[in-house]
With several copies, the nearest count.
Chain A
Amino acid sequence: MDIRVQEAAFDAGAELNAFSTGHDAAGAIVSFSGIVRDREGGLSHMEIEHYPGMTEKALTAIAAEASARWSLADVLVIHRHGSLRVGDQIMMVATAARHRGDAFAAAEYLMDYLKSRAPFWKKEVTADGAEWVAQRDEDEAALGKW
């Protein structure tokens, strides 16, 4: 299990390749990556605040729960904080499993819990000012399926 909370940029492709090697029996790899998009137009940049200490604990607990629920060979979580521009990678998760169903379910579970239970907050900064991103009802509702 590899959990990283960092300000620095990362290369999702290079991380995927590194993660994909070395799991003897796990031929199924699922990744999710989140990228800063200018959804409404006019986004200058995004600021991501987090709660140092709790963030790592929360992500580790979520990854441990995923590993308990599904048969996984490995889990990777990387999440950035600080200032990000359009096109930047915000975060990624990856799961390795023998069977693809486990890899898919665990990756989606990680994302659903990370989204609503790990202490990150996004602020979108435009020419008109800055606005904290509101939680989407469907993100909270997504937890109901697990």
Chain B
Amino acid sequence: MDVMYFAWVRERIGLPRERIDTQAATVMDLVTELRAREERYAVAFEDISALRVALDQELSEFDAPLAGVREVAFFPPMTGG
């Protein structure tokens, strides 16, 4: 699946998107996998209450299932307008 990062999540992880092969059942399972990868992921995902997640470009929740999802995006709360 495609995993995308925006704003300071992108900066902490150091890349805007990557392709990840995962068996994670939920967003939270994916976060746990990512945290275990490297320090920069652990730092980016340290406090998920400061993060938002979108599944296939729709805002979602961290307990949402990933079955059938092609694109996951992590980012801080939006600050447009």
Residues of A that sit less than 8 Å from B by CB: 34, 48-51, 53-54, 57-58, 79, 90-91, 100, 111, 114-123, 132-135, 139-140
Residues in A whose Cβ lies below 8 Å from that of B7: 49, 121, 123, 132
Residues in A whose Cβ lies below 8 Å from that of B8: 132
Whether A91 pairs with B81 at a CB distance below 8 angstroms is yes
Whether B81 pairs with A120 at a CB distance below 8 angstroms is yes
Residues of B that sit less than 8 Å from A by CB: 4, 6-8, 10, 54, 57-59, 73, 75-81
The dominant DSSP class at the A interface is mixed
Whether B76 pairs with A51 at a CB distance below 8 angstroms is no
Whether B76 pairs with A115 at a CB distance below 8 angstroms is no
Residue of B nearest to A120 (CB): B80
Whether A121 pairs with B81 at a CB distance below 8 angstroms is no
Task: List 19 A–B pairs whose Cβ atoms lie within 8 Å, in order of A's numbering.
Answer: A51-B4, A51-B6, A51-B54, A54-B57, A54-B73, A57-B57, A91-B81, A111-B81, A115-B79, A117-B59, A118-B78, A119-B73, A120-B80, A121-B76, A121-B79, A122-B80, A132-B79, A134-B79, A135-B79
